[in-house]
């Protein structure tokens, strides 16, 4: 098991955002969290990567308790997040954005290998290496955000709404790349509003409603579930 989340309670001031959620990701899996806006999906990712602190509960990465470890140390351990809304560095070039993703590393050869791996997944980024991040199209910015996330050489990649704001053809492309990244040995925890696409690419999933996990199962089981169909799949 690469990630285990146990009884996680997270608050924003007096607001109880996560109510004791527990779930896990096995090595080599794509696991998706689906749910409406405000269900607690992004809060969950931000807590795993150390940007938020839980009031109660524990997070284990490869058996190690990382609940209180600072965010930069969590990146060093092998967890990388691609945040919602991309959050690339608009004034920096594509190359500089990618280099920022490797800020915890000092193995030059390894960094170069990661850069080549990013270009294999996203050839367009190689063509735009000296272009400023802010001048890229939405789809290219999403590719850059994922590429930057891969530059830390993660074992677990947290993806927050990778399809948001993208044209349908680009959504297909991004999800194909997510599959390929997973096939290269990276475990993935995927938060995604587009439940249809998420359940096509994931092995298993959990449904979050107002900070609680209300359903879990294989992607196939969730796709067939009448509640999921009605609430998230337009069925």
Same domain assignment for residues 160 and 68: yes
Could you tell me where the DSSP H helices lie in 128-166?
A: 138-150
d(CA 136, CA 220): 36
Same domain assignment for residues 116 and 165: no
Same domain assignment for residues 121 and 161: no
d(CA 113, CA 169): 29
Give the confidence band of 235 by pLDDT, cuts at 50, 70, 90. low
Residue 13: partners with Cβ closer than 8 Å, 6 or more residues away: none
Same domain assignment for residues 42 and 63: yes
CATH number at residue 38: 3.40.50.300
Give the confidence band of 48 by pLDDT, cuts at 50, 70, 90. very high
Give the confidence band of 87 by pLDDT, cuts at 50, 70, 90. confident
d(CA 176, CA 17): 32
**234 has a pLDDT exceeding 80:** no
Same domain assignment for residues 173 and 137: no
Percent of the chain with pLDDT over 90: 78
Indicate the helix (H) or strand (E) that contains 160.
Answer: strand 156-160
Looking at residues 130-145, what average pLDDT do you find?
A: 91
The total number of structural domains in the chain stands at 2
Could you list the residue range(s) of the whole structural domain that residue 146 is in? 86-152
**What was the pLDDT predicted at 83?**
87
Same domain assignment for residues 73 and 99: no
Same domain assignment for residues 161 and 232: yes
Looking at residues 85-91, what average pLDDT do you find?
A: 85
Give the residue from 109, 124, 152 where a domain finishes: 152
Same domain assignment for residues 212 and 124: no
Give the residue from 129, 152, 175 where a domain finishes: 152
Same domain assignment for residues 159 and 143: no
| pLDDT digits 0-9 by tens, 60-73 | 999 999 999 999 99
**What was the pLDDT predicted at 220?**
97
Looking at residues 101-130, what average pLDDT do you find?
A: 90
Looking at residues 119-127, what average pLDDT do you find?
A: 91
**86 has a pLDDT exceeding 90:** no
**What was the pLDDT predicted at 21?**
98
Looking at residues 47-57, what average pLDDT do you find?
A: 96
Mean pLDDT score across all residues of the chain: 93
**What was the pLDDT predicted at 167?**
84
Same domain assignment for residues 188 and 72: yes
Looking at residues 50-55, what average pLDDT do you find?
A: 96
């Amino acid at each position: 098991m690469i990630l285990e989340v146990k009884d996680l309670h997270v608050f924003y001031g007096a607001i109880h955002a996560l109510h004791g959620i527990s779930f896990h990701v096995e090595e080599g899996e794509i696991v998706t969290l689906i749910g409406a806006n405000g269900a607690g999906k992004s809060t969950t990712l931000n807590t795993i990567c150390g940007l938020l602190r839980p009031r109660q509960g524990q997070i284990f990465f490869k058996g190690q308790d990382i609940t209180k470890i600072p965010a930069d140390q969590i990146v060093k351990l092998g967890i990388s997040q691609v945040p919602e809304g991309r959050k690339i560095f608009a004034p920096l070039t594509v190359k500089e954005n990618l280099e920022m993703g490797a800020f915890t590393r000092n193995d030059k050869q390894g960094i170069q290998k990661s850069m080549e791996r990013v270009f294999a997944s996203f050839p367009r980024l190689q063509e735009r290496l000296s272009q400023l991040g802010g001048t890229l199209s939405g789809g290219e910015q999403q590719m850059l955000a994922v590429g930057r996330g891969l530059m830390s050489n993660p074992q677990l990649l947290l993806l927050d709404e990778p399809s948001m704001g993208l044209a349908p053809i680009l959504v297909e492309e991004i999800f194909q790349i997510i599959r390929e990244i997973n096939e290269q040995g990276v475990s993935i925890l995927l938060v995604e509003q587009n439940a249809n696409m998420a359940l096509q690419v994931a092995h298993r999933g959990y449904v979050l409603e107002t900070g609680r996990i209300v359903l879990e199962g294989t992607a196939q089981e969730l796709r067939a579930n009448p509640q999921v169909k009605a609430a998230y799949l337009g069925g």
